[in-house]
Amino acid sequence: MTPEGPLVCAHCGQVVEGSEVDFRFKLPDSLFAIPKEERGQRVHDGGDMVGAPGIGVFVRVLLPVTLTEGYLIRYGTWLQLTSEADFDRARELWHAPAYPSLGVVGFSVQR
C-alpha cells in the first residue's frame, strides 16, 4: 500500500493485487449483440473458442501490454478466423502438446 492507498481498477473497482492484471472480453462484439435470451441457442461457447452460424468462429487471443513500474495488463480479445479449417485445427491443438505450433489466420473484431 502506498500513501495514496491501494491501486484500484477503474473499470471494475476491485483492488489490484500484484503487478499483473488480466482483463478478458466475454464474447466478440458480434456475438454479444445477439439478444441475451437467444445466445444459449445460437452461440456455441467453448470458453476460449466461440462461434455462431452465419456470424463466424472466434478464438481468444491474449494481448500483453507492459506498463511502467513493472505492471502488466493482459487483454483477452477475440480473433475472427477466416476459415473453418483453422477453427478445427485450433480446437484440435488447443490443449495438446503441439499447441505452440498452432498458427491461424484471422482479423481482430474488438473495438
**pLDDT digit string (tens) for the chain, length 111 residues:** 444 677 777 777 778 777 887 888 889 999 999 999 999 999 998 789 999 999 999 999 988 999 888 888 888 899 999 988 888 999 999 999 999 999 888 887 654
- State the pTM of this model: 0.76
Max Cα distance, the chain (Å): 54
- Supply the pLDDT for residue 69: 83
Q: Which sequence spans correspond to the domains of the chain?
A: 20-108
- Supply the pLDDT for residue 10: 75
Q: What are phi and psi of 69, to 5 degrees?
A: 60, 30
Please provide the DSSP assignment of 24-56 as one string: E-SS-HHHHTS-HHHHHHH-EE-SSEEEETTTE
- Supply the pLDDT for residue 38: 95
For residue 37, what are the contacts with CB-CB under 8 A and spacing of at least 6? none
- Supply the pLDDT for residue 106: 86
- Supply the pLDDT for residue 5: 72
Question: Please, are residues 49 and 87 in contact by the beta-carbon 8 Å criterion?
Answer: yes
- Supply the pLDDT for residue 30: 92
| 24: its cell numbers | 478478458
Q: Give the pairing type, strands 72-81 and 20-24.
A: parallel
